Chains A and B, each alone.
Chain A
Amino acid sequence: MKIVAVYSSKGGVGKTATAVNLAYVASRSGQRVLLCDLDPQGAASFYYRIKPKKSFNRDRLLQGRFEQYIRATDFDGLDLLPAHFSFRNLDLALRDEKQAKKRRVLGKLLQPLAKDYDYAILDCPPNLTFLSETIVTAADCVITPVIPTTLSLLALEQLIKLLKKIDCDRRKLISFFSMVERRKSMHQQIMEKYGGYPIFLQTVIPFMAEIEKMGLSRQPVGAGGQQSPAHRAYELLWQEIRQKKLAT
């Protein structure tokens, strides 16, 4: 099982939209996928119309028994681990453990599911906390959506620093331009200036009304039809990520 984290310390850059649609695209190609909603806001769960079970609690989670919280989505080969408030306090729960060991906790927790899924795709909350450290430690690949704005680039820089701080392999980091509006000159300028850096993928996800409307349709863009341009864009993105970062 490969762990793919969609992460940025900045909110509103399209992390959830990316995680939700990549998970769908991956499952469509016959892979068994688990989408993990690590954001207590629960947006990914919302898009798939899934509510967590009431009994969800942190202690059970830390015992590694979260199989029972997993729920099927309406799509073959795609399951979801719903959001829960408790993830936020993961570091509190682990306060007595050593730093390095604590960081590996997420990978350990996901380990028992390795034979059930080909990919775990993590939708991450927008902050820089201890949870972020466990996420980048566990992930085989960290994808950061970047809106072509200065502020958004800053979040990428922050992440690079974090990786350095915890001595994590920086090659697992990859980025792409998200919510791109070609008519905005700032977007154009920033993409021209930074697009050539190897950290950026060729594929970009434009700003599209279809994606914005997911809040109403409550389903991944491809579920409305395989011809959807937004769905095609996510397919290309997934293809490029697999080729560049997940090929074994």
Chain B
Amino acid sequence: MEPLRQLALVFQPAMEAEPLIEQLRHLFIVEEQGRQDDSETFYDTFDWRLYRKQLLCVGAGRSRSLLSFDGTQHGMIDDLGPGRKFWWEMTPSEVRETLREIIDVRALLPMAALETDKRHCRLLNDDEKTVVRLTIRADVPVGDGAPDQLAKVVTIDELRGYQEAFDTVHRLCVAYGLTPLDSDSWLAQRAFSGSPRTPLDYGDKFRVELARDSDIGTAIVQICGYLLREIEFNRQGVYDDVDTEFLHDFRIAIRRTRSLLSLLKKQLPIREGSYFRREFKWLGGVTGKLRDIDVYLLQKEAYLAMLPSRLRPGLDGFFADLEQHRRHELKLLRRHLSSKRYRSLLSDWRTFLVADDSPLFGESSRKSCRELADRTIRKRFRAFLRNGEAITDDGPDSDMHNLRIQGKKLRYLLEFFRSLYDEKSLEQFVKQLKKMQDNLGDFNDLCVQEEMLGARLDGLGGNGRRVLLQAAALGGLLTVQAKKRGALRDQFAATYAAFSSSQNRELLVSLIGSDQRPEERAGRQ
């Protein structure tokens, strides 16, 4: 069926709504359904997953509505309990399914609010049948530095089978001096106009734009500054345990920082370099355990699905222990995040990156970043291939892990310096690398999990029924995992062959050039 029309028009700044309603009364019975004076809170995930899909989640009390940027409603949930923020805490519905797809494991958080005064009107014909619905809203954004009041907006909703009445009202509004909103994202613009957060101010993709002729010091400041901001952005969410992804992103930013510190070891002053490497290693370390537990808990459904239903109850105790363990680890992590050591590290790091007399702005950092990037990427790629060639079907698993770490370093490098290179070719190469890393990463995850599950199994004592059940469940998981791991190992050779193909090597050469000395090149001609 034809979708129903909805139109939004904006009043001139000083215009009142009353005379317009009077005019409508000549043609319709106008029934005011009461005024609604409340605030609308706009929810999104910390990384704007809904906004990226051009969706708004508007809440008042226990209800959450999913809207387009222009206010068109897609659906609603009206029984969300207090403090509920995950899709799995909602009652099953179409909206929940949509949210599930988009927000996944992230929490819906209040991002902005509007104080709205809404007048809902129904326009009736002579049979006292509704033929058009109309809402006049006046919005005041909530927040510092927000504009006082935004121009009033009227939205007109078509009812099926009453096109003519809709057209009539539309014409009347235009004649009265209302103008169509020039943007189909007016509600989104209004919603965030007073918010301390700017839409898309935090994203999942690492993206730093370096100048093509950037020097090393500037590049480091830019990249590390970006990562520092990510660390600071996520800290509170980790501390408050809002959702698992805060910690995940927090750790990635730390890992990237560490990677840069070690890749550019020679470019950094020795004393500072080793201090920051040590301290960020510490921070990576103290956040690790909690993340490991999160990974298992997030896997819960997948684990249960691997087991036949009669073995599933065996995991109850396993997960209950994990939950308990998690509470303990969270407490420890909170202590670290409030410690003097943490605060000093971040403030030292900030000072190092921005202070005028920072060694980063000294002579040695003036060299071309591009040259350094070329060289380092080349070196890393070679190291990767060297390690990759050495892997044999029956070699130890640790070879695979080392290769994965090599690959990760290469991947980070390419991401750090992406803006220095031809975007399309680089994307293409990164895509190939990602396929390779997925194979290695999945393999590594399975190894780590197997080790953990195995340790758990070894640690079981006694012979009560619950212990037996848990042992059976763990045994089941280990069997499935080992099979998967074997399959990944089998795929390795082909994946590696594709990645190390001459085509891919040439692709990289086209990006970073080859390192043959000029005289060698001349000699060959």
Interface residues of A (CB under 8 A from B): 30, 48-51, 53, 67-72, 74, 79, 113, 116, 218
Contacts and interface: CB of A to CB of B under 8 A. Distances in A.
Interface string B1-41: 11000000000000000000000000000000000000000
Interface of B is mostly: loop
15 contacts: A48-B129, A49-B127, A50-B127, A50-B129, A67-B2, A68-B161, A70-B1, A70-B161, A71-B159, A71-B160, A71-B161, A72-B161, A74-B122, A79-B161, A218-B127
B129 A74 contact: yes
Given A113-B1, A116-B1, A74 B130 contact: yes
Given A49-B128, A50-B129, A51-B127, A72 B2 contact: no
A70 B160 contact: yes
Among all A-B residue pairs, the 7 with the closest Cβ atoms: A71-B161, A49-B129, A72-B159, A72-B160, A49-B127, A74-B130, A116-B1
Given A113-B1, A116-B1, A71 B130 contact: no
A74 B159 CA distance: 9
Contacts of A218: 127-128
Interface of B: 1-2, 93, 122, 127-130, 159-162
Contact of B161 (A30, A49, A53, A116): A53
A44 to B, nearest CB: 14
Given A67-B2, A71-B159, 12 more contacts: A30-B93, A49-B127, A49-B129, A51-B127, A70-B160, A71-B161, A71-B162, A72-B161, A72-B162, A74-B129, A74-B130, A79-B160
Contacts of A67: 1-2
Nearest to A74: B130
A215 to B, nearest CB: 14
A30 B130 CA distance: 20
Contacts of A113: 1
A67 B163 CA distance: 13
A48 B494 CA distance: 68
Contacts of A72: 130, 159-162
Contacts, number: 35
Contacts of A79: 160-161
Nearest to B158: A72
A53 B131 CA distance: 13
A30 B78 CA distance: 12
A70 B4 CA distance: 12
A32 to B, nearest CB: 11
B348 to A, nearest CB: 57
B195 to A, nearest CB: 31
A70 B2 CA distance: 11
Among B1, B128, B130, B162, the one with the most A-chain Cβ atoms within 10 Å of its Cβ is B1
Among B2, B93, B129, the one with the most A-chain Cβ atoms within 10 Å of its Cβ is B129
Nearest to A69: B161
A67 B160 CA distance: 10
A135 B160 CA distance: 25
Nearest to B160: A72
Contacts of B127: 49-51, 218
Contacts of B1: 67, 70, 113, 116
Contacts of B161: 50, 53, 68-72, 79
Nearest to B122: A74
Contacts of A48: 129
A116 B160 CA distance: 13
Contacts of A49: 127-129
A183 to B, nearest CB: 36
Contacts of A116: 1
A135 to B, nearest CB: 23
A30 B91 CA distance: 13
B206 to A, nearest CB: 42
Nearest to B164: A53
Contacts of B128: 49, 218
A133 B93 CA distance: 37
A68 B163 CA distance: 10
A49 B130 CA distance: 9
A207 to B, nearest CB: 27
A67 B129 CA distance: 20
A50 B159 CA distance: 12
Contacts of A69: 161
Contacts of B93: 30
Among B2, B127, B161, the one with the most A-chain Cβ atoms within 10 Å of its Cβ is B161
Nearest to A48: B129
B72 to A, nearest CB: 15
A72 B130 CA distance: 9
Contacts of B160: 70-72, 79
B493 to A, nearest CB: 48
B295 to A, nearest CB: 37
A95 B161 CA distance: 31
